[in-house]
């Protein structure tokens, strides 16, 4: 039997990314690993789920990550979908909307897409 533990995203600016994930999705640091040449930060949603988002910062990385066609994404449900949509609209981070399906996507500072859906 296997259980999801976390997903990893590599980021260029750890502080900027952590600020974005807290402001946009309410994720907060759960734990951190400070290694030689890297920092890994695990973000969680205040124990609403056990799944974590791992942000990896590499000291020597200076250029943006090549996300290819960006066909992958993480999905989040929102307790108040309309309020979440308004917040993300104000933040200017909505990158795609599909009203017919009742969903939208936001983009983080590194260009990763995050799907937002109602409960």
Work out whether strand 28-35 and strand 74-78 pair parallel, antiparallel, or are unpaired: unpaired
The pLDDT of residue 59 is 96
Q: What is the pLDDT of residues 53-73, one digit of tens each?
A: 999 999 999 999 998 886 789
Query: What are the C-alpha distances in Å from 48 to residues 30, 45, 57, 70, 114?
Result: 13, 6, 25, 27, 18
Q: What is the pLDDT of residues 36-52, one digit of tens each?
A: 999 999 999 987 788 99
Check whether 95 has a pLDDT greater than 90: yes
| Contacts for 56-60: CB closer than 8 Å, 24+ residues apart | 56/8, 56/9, 56/10, 56/11, 57/10, 57/11, 57/12, 57/13, 57/14, 58/10
Q: Candidates 3.10.180.10, 3.90.1570.10, 3.30.1360.70, 3.40.50.1980; correct CATH number of 6-60+73-118?
A: 3.10.180.10
Average pLDDT, rounded, for the chain: 94
Tokens 């980021």, located at residue: 11
């Amino acid at each position: 039997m296997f259980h999801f533990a976390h997903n990893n995203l590599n980021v260029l600016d750890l502080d900027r990314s952590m600020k974005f994930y807290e402001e946009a999705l309410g994720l907060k640091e759960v734990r951190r690993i400070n290694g030689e040449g890297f920092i890994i930060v695990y973000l969680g949603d205040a124990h609403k789920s056990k799944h974590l988002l791992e942000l990896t910062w590499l000291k020597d990385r200076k250029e943006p990550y090549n996300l290819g066609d960006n066909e992958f994404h993480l999905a989040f449900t929102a307790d108040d979908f309309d309020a979440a949509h308004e917040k993300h609209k104000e933040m200017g981070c909505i990158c795609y909307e599909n009203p017919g399906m009742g969903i939208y996507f936001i983009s983080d500072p590194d260009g990763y897409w995050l799907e937002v859906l109602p409960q």
